[in-house]
Amino acid sequence: MNRRRLIGLSAALLAAPSAVRAQSGPWPTRQSIRLVATFPPGGLADTIGRLVAPALGAALGQSVVIDNRAGAGGTIGADMVAKSPPDGYSLVISHASPHGFAPGIYPQLPYDPVADFTHLGMLVDTPSALLVTARSPHRTLEDLLAAAKRGGARYGSSGVGSSGHLLGEVLAKDAGAPKLDHVPYRGSAPGLQDLMAGAIESLIDPLTTNMGMLRDGTLRALAVTTAKRMPALPEVQTFEELGLPRLTAGVWIGLSGPRGLPAPIAERITAEIPKILARPDLRQRFDELASPPPEPPLLGAEYARYVAEFAKLWTGVAREASITAS
């Protein structure tokens, strides 16, 4: 072998991605696997992540630690994992906001929601609702929209670029209520606190962490984003029933890694997802949180296609409605 070829080969080996090296050795062998939740504690991504992480860790024989990296509608945490080494030690709770809604409203999104990730499988698909407190004078969606048209009303969301933000913008446009103003928060929990304190009139949020307060009557849902009424909330109308069909969308949650995750690692994690979702203790919690897993499971390439189609659909909605994150 001549000297030039030897130097070139050595450089190629040094520059080889960690994914190649990961394929040649056992995994996992480090102390822990980081699972990034792209929203703060108390929200949908964090709640589902903390339910799934212990079961995933037990299946892999390695601890799985939640790392909350919130901001910019979940895009900060998603971008961090997109740029992480594809070695199996950095995973992300993929989410409808940073992977589905964000591409349509962030003109310079720093990652591709499909090409820059290895999408492993969907965990749950959660409806959202337009929420008010039990003491709110707005008993119906029509009441809130009438207030918005008269002098203005506010809706909170878990952040700029979040699912609640985009759904609220579509609601304001389709219902002809331009004074329905958006108030972004750093996650669902502070938005809920302000709603309860009367600082905002309403909140658009996934049902997951709000079901307890809906059941005990502390909160009231004016409409939900499901195509049909929910068995858990049969008295609550859907947006589609109320003449707003574009507000039919779930907030899905899944597991993903960086692009180039070695096939043995991806296949091992993907194989565990249906087993985890079938555990009776987790199924009970998912039911309590109105966050059902998909049936049948949505895994690997099928999940990646779902993410791509969802992002394409909502990018079109955002651009048609001239919605951008600002």
pLDDT tens-place string over residues 212-258 = 999 999 999 999 999 999 999 999 999 999 999 999 999 999 999 99
CA distance 165 to 163: 5
Long-range contacts of 315-320 (CB under 8 A, 24+ apart): 315/103, 315/104, 316/104, 317/104, 317/166, 317/170, 317/246, 318/101, 318/104, 318/105, 318/166, 319/104
**pTM, two decimal places:** 0.85
pLDDT at residue 158 is higher than 80: yes
Share of the chain above pLDDT 90, in %: 81
How far is residue 102 CA from its own chain's centroid? 11
* Tens digits of residue pLDDT in 164-197: 999 999 999 999 999 999 999 988 999 999 999 9
pLDDT at residue 29 is higher than 90: no
The tokens describing 237, both together, are 């109308």
Q: State how far the alpha carbon of 155 is from the alpha carbons of 131, 132, 165, 215, 304, in Å.
A: 9, 9, 9, 21, 32
pLDDT at residue 5 is higher than 50: no
Q: What is the mean pLDDT of residues 47-54?
A: 97
Q: What is the mean pLDDT of the chain?
A: 91
CA distance 41 to 49: 10
Share of the chain above pLDDT 70, in %: 92
pLDDT at residue 264 is higher than 60: yes
**CB within 8 A of 225, min separation 6: which ones?**
127, 128, 129, 167, 238, 239, 247, 248, 249, 250
How far is residue 90 CA from its own chain's centroid? 17
Three state DSSP letters for the chain:
CCHHHHHHHHHHHHHCCHHHHHHCCCCCCCCEEEEEECCCCCCHHHHHHHHHHHHHHHHHCCEEEEEECCCHHHHHHHHHHHCCCCCCCEEEEEEHHHHHHHHHHCCCCCCCCCCCEEEEEEEEEEEEEEEEECCCCCCCHHHHHHHHHHCCEEEEECCCCCHHHHHHHHHHHHCCCCCEEEEECCCHHHHHHHHHHCCCCEEEEECHHHHHHHHCCCEEEEEECCCCCECCECCCCECCCCCCHHHCCEEEEEEEEECCCCHHHHHHHHHHHHHHHCCHHHHHHHHHCCCCCCCCCCEHHHHHHHHHHHHHHHHHHHHHCCCCCC
Domains of the chain in sequence order: 29-126+251-320 (3.40.190.150), 127-247 (3.40.190.10)
CA distance 154 to 140: 15
Q: Give residue 107's pLDDT band: very low, low, confident or very high (50, 70, 90).
A: confident
Q: What's the confidence (pLDDT) of residue 326?
A: 64
Top-confidence residue, 209 or 274: 274
Contact (CB, 8 A) for 195 and 133: yes
Q: What's the confidence (pLDDT) of residue 319?
A: 86
